[in-house]
């Protein structure tokens, strides 16, 4: 495997895979303690950490989360894949939620300031340089880790690439050229940028057109997220991104969403909550398949299927399928 490929080998041995952290530094410290990690990130059983991305935004201290994860990675105790929130920062997409990065306050709907540590110049530089080193996906024979969606074709394309921004811009330009001679409407155009750019697809997942406009995230939309994991079944995959409430179904036996929505805690604080949050941070112990929460509670993962041997797909064929698939839209 290319040492700078955007798809890298996942640690061998026992690991603890951590869901979206979103700046919730206290929850992260608490979770790592319950998992048995020392303050320097070492573990008595030599376990190591893997983060599914979305380290930052929304929560109170994104710079501290990045610093903690970066130091764990630099000491060989952790790996981390890119989430869509890291990518937005890398590519300079300013959102309300990542204003901390540019040193500006995150404002709530009523204009009140959401408490967050803001980045200064040196933090910005450090965070950006660190995000540039992160892969899109990690894989070993029986396990895969990606932020939002595992798609064999898009993974194959990412495997041959080394720079996520170039990869994104290249595919955006290819789609621009195709759309310049197309009479598709704005909704279909948007879906092509989402579903046919491998970076978009892997970091924020597939979307589809709805029959009628639906309300999502406070806006009327004509697109909805596709629950891709319902049709996934050729390797065990752990991902984040979807902020599924605790108690709701988050797997199909093969793919498991580890995002328990700690990134929504800031809305619980707005309502005066300081403890006993319903949104949580979680990690999955692998191969034990035990989910551990930031309050120390544990829950056995119901995933039943176990793979043995090398089942990684025929990547070349998947690349061709992905690239040919673009033509099917025109
Ligand atoms: Mn997220």
Give residue 57 CA to ligand 1 midpoint distance, Å. 9
Give residue 44 CA to ligand 1 midpoint distance, Å. 30
Give residue 3 CA to ligand 1 midpoint distance, Å. 27
Give residue 26 CA to ligand 1 midpoint distance, Å. 17
- pLDDT for 311 equals 41
Give residue 280 CA to ligand 1 midpoint distance, Å. 12
Give residue 179 CA to ligand 1 midpoint distance, Å. 30
Give residue 301 CA to ligand 1 midpoint distance, Å. 21
pLDDT (tens digit, 9 = 90+) per residue, 192-238? Answer: 999 999 999 999 999 999 989 988 877 899 999 999 998 887 678 99
pLDDT (tens digit, 9 = 90+) per residue, 70-102? Answer: 999 999 999 999 999 999 999 999 999 999 999
Q: Which two tokens stand for residue 283?
A: 């990690």
Give residue 161 CA to ligand 1 midpoint distance, Å. 24
CATH class entry, domain 7-161+229-307: alpha beta
Average pLDDT per 10 consecutive residues for the chain, totaling 330 residues: 84 97 98 97 97 97 98 98 98 95 93 94 97 96 93 92 97 95 93 96 96 85 91 85 90 90 95 93 94 95 52 51 58
Give residue 245 CA to ligand 1 midpoint distance, Å. 13
- pLDDT for 141 equals 82
Give residue 308 CA to ligand 1 midpoint distance, Å. 30
In terms of Cβ atoms closer than 10 Å to its own Cβ (0-12, 13-18, 19+), residue 226 is: middle
Residue whose C-alpha is closest to residue 58's, from 93, 18, 17, 101: 101
Give residue 239 CA to ligand 1 midpoint distance, Å. 10
Give residue 328 CA to ligand 1 midpoint distance, Å. 31
Give residue 95 CA to ligand 1 midpoint distance, Å. 14
- pLDDT for 300 equals 85
Give residue 221 CA to ligand 1 midpoint distance, Å. 20
- pLDDT for 320 equals 60
Task: Please report, for the chain, the start and end positions of each structural domain, with discontinuous segments joined by +.
Answer: 7-161+229-307
Give residue 260 CA to ligand 1 midpoint distance, Å. 10
Give residue 257 CA to ligand 1 midpoint distance, Å. 11
- pLDDT for 325 equals 61
Give residue 35 CA to ligand 1 midpoint distance, Å. 21
Give residue 204 CA to ligand 1 midpoint distance, Å. 9
Q: Say if residues 226 and 205 touch (Cβ distance below 8 Å).
A: yes
- pLDDT for 326 equals 57
Q: If DSSP states are collapsed to H, E and C, what string results for the chain?
A: CCCCCCEEECCCCCEEEECCCCCCHHHHHHHHHHHCCCCCCCCCCCCEEEECCCCCCCCCCHHHHHHHHHHHHHCCCEEECCCHHHHHHHHCCCCHHHHHHHCCCEECCCCCEECCCCCCHHHHHHHHHHHCCCCCEEEECCEEEECCCCCHHHHHHHHCCCCHHHHHHHHHHHHHHHHHCCCCCHHHHHHHHHHCCHHHHHHHCCEEEEEEEEEECCEEEEEEECCHHHHCCCCEEEECCCCCCCCCCCECCCEEECCCEHHHHHHHHHCCCCCCCCCECEEEEECCCEEEECCCCEEECCCCCCCCCCCCCCHHHHHHHHHHHHHCCC
- pLDDT for 310 equals 45
Give residue 174 CA to ligand 1 midpoint distance, Å. 28
């Amino acid at each position: 495997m290319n040492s700078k490929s955007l798809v890298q080998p996942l640690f061998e041995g026992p690991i603890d895979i951590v869901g979206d952290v979103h700046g919730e530094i206290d929850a992260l410290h608490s979770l790592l303690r319950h998992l048995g990690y020392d303050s320097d990130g070492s573990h008595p059983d030599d376990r190591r950490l893997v983060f599914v991305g979305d380290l930052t935004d929304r929560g109170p201290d994104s710079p501290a989360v990045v610093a903690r994860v970066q130091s764990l990675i630099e000491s060989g105790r952790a790996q981390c894949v890119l989430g869509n929130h890291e990518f937005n920062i890398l590519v300079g997409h300013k959102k309300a939620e990542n204003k901390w990065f540019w040193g500006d306050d995150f404002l709530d709907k009523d204009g009140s300031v959401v408490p967050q540590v803001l980045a200064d110049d040196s933090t910005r530089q450090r965070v950006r340089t660190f995000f540039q080193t992160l892969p899109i996906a990690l894989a070993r024979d029986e396990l895969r880790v990606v932020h939002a969606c595992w798609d064999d074709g898009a993974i194959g394309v990412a495997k041959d690439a080394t720079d996520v921004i170039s990869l994104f811009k290249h595919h955006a330009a290819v789609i621009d050229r195709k759309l310049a001679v197309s009479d598709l409407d704005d909704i279909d155009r948007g879906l092509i940028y989402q579903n046919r750019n491998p970076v978009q697809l892997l970091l924020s997942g597939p979307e589809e057109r709805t029959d009628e406009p639906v309300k999502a995230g406070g806006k009327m939309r004509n697109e909805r997220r596709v629950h891709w994991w319902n049709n996934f079944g050729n390797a065990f995959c752990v991902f984040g991104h979807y902020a599924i409430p605790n108690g709701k179904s988050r797997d199909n036996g093969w793919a498991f969403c580890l995002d328990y929505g700690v990134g929504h805690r800031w809305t619980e604080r707005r309502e005066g909550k300081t403890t006993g949050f319903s949104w949580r941070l979680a990690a999955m112990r692998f191969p034990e398949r035990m989910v551990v929460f930031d309050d120390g509670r544990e829950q056995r993962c119901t995933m039943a299927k176990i793979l043995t041997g090398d089942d990684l797909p025929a990547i070349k064929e998947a690349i061709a399928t992905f690239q040919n698939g673009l033509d099917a839209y025109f």
